[in-house]
Amino acid sequence: MNVARGMRRGTPLGAMLVAVIALASATTHASDRLQFEAAGRAGFGLALGNVDTAPGDRLDQTSPGMVPFGIDFGVRLQSRWRAGAYFDFAPAAFVGDALKRLGSGNAVRVARFGGEAAYHLRPEGPFDPWFGAGFGAEWLWAANSAGSTSLSGVEMLLEGGLDMPFAPEWSWGPFVGATFGAYTSLPNPDVHEWALVGVRVVALFGGGASAQASGRGDGSDP
Amino acid sequence: MTPRWVICRSCGRHVKAGDRACPHCDAGLSRLDSVRAPERRSVAVGRVVLATAVTGIGAGACGGHVMGQDAPSQADILGSCPASLPSGGYTSCVDTSISCNCTQAAGCTCTSPPANLCACGRFGECSGGSCVPQDCGSDSYLSSTGCKPTYWFEGKLPPTATCYGCPPLLA
């Protein structure tokens, strides 16, 4: 009753309680359709766009590319919908020409994290295409032997991929993606992109016995 | 012979065409509307994937950079000099082989009329008898307030020695 009263009043607390109760209820009544997912990924990111509005300050002058390693955590609802968080870190991104000219000991590191929602088109099939979108934050560190400095900003993520089961509750597959970001720590940020391609390995767990029977890798599907 | 596959509308999984009941959910398949063909969905999947990829690549190709946003004004370059020379240059110059319209032009002495004498703007310099933007070097650009470093880390990241093992340069 109090919750309903809170909703009528439009309080955030009431709305949050209703959402939590609804999710818990859905979990209880449809536990066979809720699973948790963890994924590891590695790939390559190509730098595009500009760091700021200064002519020539392209991102590839700082770093033309990176090899990010990442992990994803999330939940699967009814096998198709996925919501979760992503963390990517490139400990040794490639060093751009402009940074190299400053001298020796150059290094670039890139970290990204955020939230993502994705939709799986054929979760029961042997080939499961998916696409998703998310928002997050990005950090870029640049350093040489005399010091370091960093950038931070926001990003939007669009990506898609193909999951292929290779064992019960396990799948792997390629993914492609693109981030569209701006380093808002700069006074005149411009739009830059990371074009991503790579491979990820996914583990599904939870959801009870019916999750096992949900068909990932089920040979009865062509 | 390869069996034809259809989709059970009850559970959404593949079943053999002609089966009386779904082997996955036991739903009856005798009615025509209890199954659907899979082909149309495959086409739709392909379209969605393609559209996503094309959108991503197309958007990624556009950097969104605004050229000239911080560029100096023409007045800051040209100063009091005209933007273009009269055809053949100023005949009043002693050396008419030089298209002279800048007081700084080497080898050019304009005697009359005095209006020919001009000065480039604060961010302009005379080159070949014309006012051109001043040279800021390879790692800087000319902005509306003068030369600025091109790269975001310049000034934040000190230069170092460029050889392996050399001690860092002291500012």
- pLDDT number for residue A132: 97
- Tens of pLDDT along A141-150? 999 888 899 9
The closest CB to that of A131, out of B12, B49, B157, belongs to B49
Most confident of A92-96, A175-179, B67-71, B132-136: A175-179
Q: Hey, how many other C-beta atoms are within 10 angstroms of the C-beta on B108?
A: 22
Residue A3 has pLDDT above 50, yes or no: no
Interface contact B107, partner A, CB < 8 A: no
- pLDDT number for residue B13: 77
DSSP string, chain B: -PPPEEEETTT--EEETT-SB-TTT--B--SGGGEE-SHHHHHHHHHHHHHHHHHHHHHHH-----TTTTPPPHHHHHTTS-SSPPTT--TTBS-TTS----TT-TT--B-S-GGG-----TTEEEETTEEEEPP--TTEEEETTEEEESSTTBTTB----SSTTPPPPP-
Instruction: Decide which of B20 and B168 is more confident.
Output: B20
Most confident of A25-34, B62-71, B127-136: B127-136
Instruction: Decide which of A120 and A209 is more confident.
Output: A120
* ipTM over cut 0.85: no
Interface contact B50, partner A, CB < 8 A: no
H-helix or E-strand containing A27? helix A12-29
- Tens of pLDDT along A160-170? 999 999 998 99
Interface test with B, best of A53, A139, A148 (most B CBs within 10 A): A53
CA distance linking residue A24 with residue A9, whole number of Å? 23
Q: Mark yes or no for CB contact B64/A49 under 8 Å.
A: yes
Instruction: Decide which of B100 and B122 is more confident.
Output: B122
- pLDDT number for residue B30: 75
Residue A66 has pLDDT above 80, yes or no: yes
For chain B, the structural domain boundaries read 5-58
pLDDT above 90: percentage of residues in chain A: 65
pTM reported for the whole predicted model: 0.63
- Mean pLDDT rounded to a whole number for chain A: 83
Give whole-number Cα distances, B57 to A56, A120, A160, B47, B93, in Å: 22, 21, 12, 15, 57
Residue pair A169/A128 in contact (Cβ under 8 Å)? The answer is: no
Interface test with B, best of A193, A197, A212, A216 (most B CBs within 10 A): A193
* Residue reference for tokens 């979108």: A133
CA distance linking residue B155 with residue A147, whole number of Å? 11
Most confident of A6-15, A57-66, B66-75: A57-66
Most confident of A170-184, B126-140, B154-168: A170-184
Residues of B in Cβ contact (< 8 Å) with A52: 152
Residues of B in Cβ contact (< 8 Å) with A131: 48-49, 52
Among the four given CATH numbers 2.40.160.20, 2.60.120.650, 3.40.50.300, 3.40.640.10, the one describing domain A35-212: 2.40.160.20
Residue A188 has pLDDT above 60, yes or no: yes
DSSP string, A105-140: S-EEEEEEEEEEEEEES-TTSSSEEEEEEEEEEEEE
Q: Mark yes or no for CB contact B166/A104 under 8 Å.
A: yes
For chain A, the structural domain boundaries read 35-212
Mean pLDDT confidence for A173-199: 96
Which residue on chain A is closest to B55 by alpha carbon?
A158
- pLDDT number for residue A33: 72
- pLDDT number for residue B69: 61
Instruction: Decide which of A180 and B58 is more confident.
Output: A180
